[in-house]
Amino acid sequence: MTAYGSFGWALVLVSLGVYCSGRYTDSWSIRLGIAAAIVAATFSVQIDQVPLIGFVAAVQGEPSVAMLLISGGCAARSILPERVTQEDLSQLCACIFWLGLVMYPSALGVGPIDLYAVGYHPYAALGLLFLALLCVGFAATRLLAVWATLALLLHGHDAGESDNILDYLIDPIVLVYSWWHVGTHAWRRFRDARR
C-alpha cells in the first residue's frame, strides 16, 4: 500500500470514529480517543499475519478523494456545521451518483465504450482541471472544486497505486453511499411533495 493509501485509510477511520462517537458523547477527548483506538487497532491487529487494514485494502485498495471528503465532511459537519453544508455533500453525492452510474457498467462490458479507459488519457486530467476552475469560479459549491482539485493533484503526483484519474475521484464504496444518499433525499422530497 502506498503512503497515500495508508494515510487515506487512517483519515477515513478517524473521521468515522469522530462522527459515530459524536452520537453518544460530546466530549472531544473521548471522541478523539475512540478514533485513535480504531486506527491503532486496524493497523496493528493481525489475522493470519495480515493487519486488519490489509483486509480492507484487499477489497478497496485505496480510498478515493470522494471517500476522504464524504467521511471528513460528515465528521466536520458534526463539529462545524456551518462550514460544510448538507447541500455541499448532496451535490458531491449527486456527481458521484451519475458518474458511477455511467462508468461502472461500461467498465464491466455494458455498452460499446469503456468510459473507465478514458481516465488514463491525459486529456481527462485537463477536462477535470477545467471542471475544477468552473466550480471555483461560477458554480455554487466549494466541495466539488476541492474534489476535482485534490484528485488532480494526487493523480499528477502519482500518489496512489492507480494511473487512472477516475480512481482518485470515486470508488465503489462511495458510489453505494451516494446511491443511498441520493435515494433517501429523493424519497424525502417525494414524501414532502405528497403531504
Partner 1 sequence: MLRFISTTNRRVPAIAGIGVLLGLAFPPAFESATSYLAAPGYRADAAGTEADTVDMVGTSEAEPVWEERAIDPGGRAMVHSATLIELTDGGIRAFWYGGSREGARDVGIYTARLPPNEQQWGAAREIMNREKLSEELGRYIKKLGNPVGFLDAAGRVWVFFVSVSFGGWSGSAINAMVSRDGGATFGQVRRVVSSPMFNVSTLVRGRPIQMLDGSITLPVYHELLGKFAELLHLKPDGSVQRKKRLTRGRSHIQPALVTVDADTAHVFMRYAGEEAKRVHYVSTNDAGLKFTSPRHSNLPNPDSAIDVIRLTSSETLMVYNHSETGRHNLSLAISGRDPAEWTRIYDMERSETGFGQHFSYPSILRDSSGRIHIAYTYDRRYIKHVTFNETWLARIRRGPATEP
Q: What's the angle, vertex CA 184, arms to CA 89 and CA 174, rounded to 5?
A: 50
| Residue 18 CB partners (closer than 8 Å, separation 6+) | 31, 32, 34, 35, 75, 78, 79
* Closest residue by Cα to residue 11 from 84, 56, 67: 67
Minimum distance from CB of 35 to partner 1 (Å)?
A: 21
Residue from 20, 94, 129, 182 in contact with partner 1 (CB under 8 A): 129
From 54-62, 73-81, 88-96, 180-188, give the range in contact with partner 1 by CB under 8 A: 54-62
From 20-28, 76-84, 86-94, 169-177, give the range in contact with partner 1 by CB under 8 A: 169-177
Distances from the Cα of 162 to the Cα of 43, 64, 156, 170, angstroms: 22, 11, 11, 12
| Residue 20 CB partners (closer than 8 Å, separation 6+) | none
Residue from 125, 179, 182, 185 in contact with partner 1 (CB under 8 A): 125
Is 137 a binding residue for partner 1 by CB under 8 A? The answer is yes
Residue from 4, 7, 54, 94 in contact with partner 1 (CB under 8 A): 54
Query: Residue 157, class by beta-carbon neighbours within 10 Å (0-12 exposed, 13-18 middle, 19+ buried)?
Result: exposed
Minimum distance from CB of 188 to partner 1 (Å)?
A: 30
Is 140 a binding residue for partner 1 by CB under 8 A? The answer is no
Say what angle helices 122-137 and 142-156 make with each other, to 10 degrees.
150
Is 36 a binding residue for partner 1 by CB under 8 A? The answer is no
Minimum distance from CB of 36 to partner 1 (Å)?
A: 21
Q: Which residues bind partner 1 (CB under 8 A)?
A: 1, 5-6, 48-51, 53-55, 57-61, 103-104, 107-110, 112, 114, 116-117, 119-123, 125-126, 129, 132-133, 136-138, 145, 149, 152-153, 156-158, 161-164, 166-167, 170-172
